[in-house]
Amino acid sequence: MKTDIKTSALLTIELESRSVEGLKAFIDDDFVGAVETIHAAKGRVVITGIGKSAIVGQKIVATLNSTGTPALFMHAADAIHGDLGMIQEDDVVIVISKSGESPEIKVLIPLIKNFGNILIGMVGNKNALLARESNFILDTTVAKEACPNNLAPTSSTTAQMVMGDALAVCLMELNKFTGKDFARYHPGGNLGKKLYLKVDDVYTLNEKPAVLADATLKEVILAISKGRLGATAVVDANNKVKGIITDGDVRRMLETIDNLSVIKAADIYSTTPKCVQPALLAAEAFEMMKQFDISQVLVSGTDDAYLGILHLHDLIREGII
């Protein structure tokens, strides 16, 4: 039984992988024309379909909207009962259908053509009505569904999804859609936080441990313990950053020095602390921590004024990691 299940799963993945691989042959002049037409259009992209293709269409709409191409979904069955009013003069319409011959699609095609809108057919049969009537064809033909009966939409819907992603990515590049643009459309959740949350939004609730260079070892340990951040900054009389002492620095010092009464902060601290400014993205601060394998960074102003400490735990709490 276990062997049969694994075999079936692997065959499904293999068949769908072949379907995706086969799409390379369909990135042709029609695909280029469809991308250029959508990019130049003054209106939106209206995507429609029936059954599983309709579900794929909703996903493609979501991807386009989140990457800078205005789009909306219109169910093919509802379209012929009033929803055609969604289509405006300058819109480009994409109809998704494996067969290109579904009854609802056959009714819908001449109506769209009568409106004068550009029609793009994402279709798995280039001899179908949808293919013949489309201004551009996005060919998603597959050799075989992953379904054992070659009936349930599996490989075909995967191919549609990937073709939609290819379309969206090409439009992103033509629109010069940047990470900052992406952040504007994704302000919520952990993804949004990675794109807009700054160091200044995260570290300010922490303690602000600091000692002068002539502080005793006891004062250093008390500052680290009180701050609960595993480190303390070393500053001068004007609160300028001079360095950092971590609990690891203290442990390493204890391994080599016997007379602790004479130890000062100046004997321990690192003179090249890793510092970030408040306006830096928290995700970029995390990348710095990963690069140097450290758990905290000092936060400083443009004039090297000590502002506080950002700890790895802060980023975990905010979902950056």
Residue 187: predicted pLDDT: 66
- Residue extents of the structural domains in the chain: 2-177, 199-317
Residue 189: predicted pLDDT: 64
Residue 151: predicted pLDDT: 86
Residue 39: predicted pLDDT: 97
User: Which top CATH class is 2-177?
Assistant: alpha beta
Kindly report, residue by residue over 71-101, the tens digit of the pLDDT.
999 999 999 888 999 999 999 999 999 999 9
> For the chain, which ranges sit under pLDDT 70?
186-191
Residue 188: predicted pLDDT: 65
| Residue 75 is labelled as binding a ligand | yes
**CATH number 3.10.580.10 given to 199-317:** yes
HEC readout, the chain: CHHHHHHHHHHHHHHHHHHHHHHHHHCCHHHHHHHHHHHHCCCCEEEEECCHHHHHHHHHHHHHHHCCCCEEEEEHHHHCCCHHHHCCCCCEEEEEECCCCCHHHHHHHHHHHHHCCEEEEEECCCCCHHHHHCCEEEECCCCCCCCCCCCCCCHHHHHHHHHHHHHHHHHHHHCCCCHHHHHHHCCCHHHHHHHHCEHHHCHHHCCCCEEECCCEHHHHHHHHHHHCCCEEEEECCCCEEEEEEEHHHHHHHHCCCCCHHHCEHHHCCECCCCEECCCCEHHHHHHHHHHHCCCEEEEECCCCEEEEEEEHHHHHHCCCC
Q: Is the pTM of this model over 0.75?
A: no
